[in-house]
Chains A and B, each alone.
Chain A
Amino acid sequence: MTSSPSASRSLRGKTAVIGCGISAVGRVPGKSALALAADAAYKALADAGLQKTDIDGVLSSHAFASPFHRFSVAISEYLGIQPTFSNTLQVSGATAATMFNVAAAAIHGGLAETVLIVGGDSLLTGLSPDLALRSMTESRDQQYEMPFGIPVANTFAMTAHRHMRDFGTTAEQFAQVAVIQREHARRTPGAQMTEPLTVEDVLNSGMVTTPYHKLDCSLISDGGAAFIVTSAERAKALGIPKPIYILGGGECYTHEHIFLMPSITTTGAVQSSAKAYAMAGYGPKDMDVAGVYDCFTGTVIMMLEDLGFCPKGEGGRFVEDRQMTYGGAIPCNTHGGLLSFAHSGMPGALFHFYEVIHQLRGQCGERQVQGAELGLVHSLGAGFATQATTIFGTEATL
């Protein structure tokens, strides 16, 4: 990355997250995607001590249940604000991290001073039958994939399956991811799934698409999340007690179709995280806590490798050795993740940010990772086609 002409330009420490909010998550009937997003937005504003008129930029993801082409514009209207910078980003599950990267770049570049990042969706209770069907099938290629009956889960399943073949990763190791994250969710107020879970429970939960059982798959939920990002100078001027700085961002897009993925067991997360680490000036060993997109259990194992937390092929053993929880190398998805906290579509990936930022603020109560100063959040989507990483730190890490 050092040879890149952009290496001398950096958004390291230029912006900070000063407010966070989430709606109720899980089964939240009677609330539109916009209402969930607005609820989260008002909580984030209150957390930052700002008024809605202080927002001059809005970034959002799309929502299946409120399928506006321009959700960021629709939510601005819903909130009664008229931002001078806005965009609705769409790179599937990776959208969450790209919103933080773009917000930081926009603020650093002078396009906006205070950006609201917001998403909301109601996949569990808010989808009409046609929208539900659309959400299940439409993201795969109409000519080369969909005619063969390929569920969204299938692309991820095929990568995990080959990972088993190439590295000896086991179904029990996949299941262990779900078990550890359930332990985390049991300590997270408001989490959707809090019943105790064992490896046997996962293995006996019924096959969806090999090698994934039902409990290897993430949840379907309602929920929204929002964040306020502003310049480091403004965060200081506002007297925010603990701004959480954006130290680095990186992205990588290796393919659109799974059959054109260069390797189905090593992903663009290698490149996206390398770029984020280089900008932040820290490496994987420096991270105290992580939020890793966990649409399926095997996704986490592959990402722990590609983000540099363990060598390639050793993700299964890493998880089996409980290195992804408290006392291990990198406590990961300490809120329970998409597997146990909630997965309301694209906003689901924002919950990882909410957790990691609260860990860095030291506000996680019994879930607190002691002394957490540096955190990484990684979002991905579309069968590993889209990858985005953001690294955060406290003032002490600047």
Chain B
Amino acid sequence: MINPKEAHIKPLPMPDADSEAYWRGIREGKLLLQHCKQCGHVQFYQQAICRACGSEHLEHRPASGRGTVHSFSVVYRAPGPAFKHDTPYAVLLVELAEGPRMISSFVGDDPLVVTFDMPVELVCEPVGDTGVVLPRFRAAR
């Protein structure tokens, strides 16, 4: 349970056995997608088996980092005190060039410039001095 005294601290990802390699990749500036060697399915959400065929033969390959904004929502009222000072910020549903979608947030510009199907590119951004790096997106250059 969240301690109210720590409510101002942003939640940071805690990698598990399925996602450890993914988060290591993000720290190295790479967004690793899982490619199934058996059926060719490409998945973002990290798991031990292919979601299409169930094969365990998955291979990590770095994504191009390019994508488009499938949808988005600009947050004016934050979910708790940790994000209050960031408002307004744009949460993105990014469709990666390789097909899978992921949740991220928009950086590098006014959130009000975000539009549907806008091309964006990956920015692996450290969170303060936490040692954690998050995959965010900016307008494609």
Residues of chain A at the chain B interface (Cβ within 8 Å): 129-130, 133-134, 136-138, 142-152, 154, 157-159, 161-162, 165, 206-212, 257-260, 264
Contacts and interface: CB of A to CB of B under 8 A. Distances in A.
Interface string B10-34: 1111111001000100000000000
A162 to B, nearest CB: 4
A259 B45 contact: yes
Most buried by A among B44, B76, B134: B76
A319 B72 CA distance: 24
B91 A148 contact: yes
Nearest to A213: B76
Given A159-B71, A165-B116, A264-B71, A130 B82 contact: no
Contact of A209 (B11, B44, B77, B136): B77
A129 B7 CA distance: 10
B89 A149 contact: yes
Given A150-B91, A158-B93, A257-B45, A133 B73 contact: no
B103 interface: yes
B76 A259 contact: no
Interface class of chain A by DSSP: helix
Contacts of B79: 136-137, 149-152, 154
B30 to A, nearest CB: 16
B101 A142 contact: no
Interface string B52-89: 00000000000000000011111111111011001001
B113 interface: no
B13 A144 contact: yes
B105 A162 contact: no
Contacts of B15: 143
Interface string B125-140: 0010000001010000
Contacts of A209: 73-77, 91
Contact of A147 (B1, B13, B89): B13
A32 B79 CA distance: 25
Nearest to A163: B71
B19 A147 contact: no
B45 A137 contact: no
A152 B73 CA distance: 12
Given A129-B4, A137-B11, A150-B91, A144 B71 contact: no
Nearest to A67: B1
Contacts of A212: 73
Given A130-B2, A162-B116, A149 B83 contact: yes
A133 B4 contact: yes
B52 to A, nearest CB: 12
B75 A151 contact: yes
Contact of A161 (B3, B44, B72, B78): B72
B100 interface: yes
A154 B1 contact: no
Contacts of A149: 10, 75, 78-79, 82-83, 86, 89, 91, 105
Contacts of A138: 2
A144 B80 contact: no
Nearest to A158: B71
27 contacts: A130-B1, A130-B4, A133-B2, A133-B80, A134-B1, A134-B2, A138-B2, A143-B13, A143-B14, A143-B15, A146-B11, A147-B127, A148-B91, A148-B104, A149-B78, A149-B105, A151-B78, A151-B79, A154-B79, A161-B72, A162-B116, A207-B77, A209-B74, A209-B77, A258-B103, A259-B102, A260-B101
B91 A154 contact: yes
Nearest to A206: B76
A142 B80 CA distance: 15
A77 B11 CA distance: 37
A142 B13 contact: yes
Most buried by A among B3, B14, B77, B80: B77
A129 B1 CA distance: 11
B80 A136 contact: yes
A129 B45 CA distance: 32
Nearest to B12: A147
A76 B53 CA distance: 44
A158 B76 contact: no
B101 A259 contact: yes
A260 to B, nearest CB: 6
Contacts of B101: 259-260
A258 B93 contact: yes
Contacts of A146: 11, 13
Contacts of B103: 144-145, 148, 150, 257-259
A211 B72 CA distance: 9
